[in-house]
Structure 1
């Protein structure tokens, strides 16, 4: 038998001896090489990290600044058309009011003309005709409220000029945009032709057409001078809120004292 445990015989194994050793281990069921060093067989190779998905897009409402509103308005035709073609007297203005296309963009109802004569002691200005108005301005329920107010104020309707800032009803009008596009100039031109002694405007939405800034001006500046101006709450609000009517009446007495 070959001695495998002696150093001097370690290198003297013959081919026959090596074959016998291998056959012995095969019969023992060992046919692979083993080592004690860790091979990392259980390690899972790292996959390349996928890029993170982009955050969901959130639509943020655009904040419309006064400058942007002015620029947007500049892209649309000016309300009233060329100023050189505007009427120079009240009778011609009524025809202009009923026919000028730019005065009624997006409106579906019929146009309602102003009524009254030039030089009235009071001009009553509302934003637009009421739903009940057909051929005559303020001929419906809110017109009856105005009539009651005028009687209480000692004013006959024949001494009052009734007008609206728009010739027919427009759903949700943007008064600031309309003012930028020229409705403010048309409104002032209308007042200048009517020549009232005072202007009573119902609806604070009319402020961009009549005042500078957010504070109602006590006077309406016109090319021919100034006219006392009072801006009151909307007529529908006065109709349903007695407290508002009381406050309005107090303001009226102070304004006309």
Structure 2
């Protein structure tokens, strides 16, 4: 199967909740008029009018400052967010290494969560049974396998989630700041595993604030600003545009 992703005119809207108490002045006015502050919902467009064609062999980097829409775009591609407008068409089995630990049940044991997370990732139960010892070993959690997940630190949960996902062979691999934090020894081990996954994947989409990682992994990139694509090119071209047009201008604005 030849993997591809086709995105046309994609926009994602979120609703923002306001508690109706933005200032002391509005509180006083509401008190005088004997009115309760109004609760309101407003629409916020997180990404807007995205057009992308991603094909076999593409390693696409996504650059942008915090809040630019990088994670939202990845989650839309993964099917976590539905388009508000536009379409996403894709072909190929997909593994999203995004918010590690999503889908876990804190009250259940580590072993039970391996099977739960495996089911969410569509891993056959027979395969999970075979992989369980390797998953626990790679995550360095053999001694905790019968402990409730709630007893584990956030770092240990992330190790478990990554370990489960890393035994998959995706045609499309989504990576969101996967090298950003964690125990240094485990990050080195995880990076080696991720590089193998990248090598075997037909399509890779990767977000990172580390330019070196974008250059190492990606052969093309886009730059997002306020939810829209402002540049497309090679990884090197996109990094240059990002630094010259977003980072340096931002620094000058705060000088």
* TM bracket (short chain): under 0.3
Instruction: Give the TM-score, by structure 2 length.
Output: 0.27
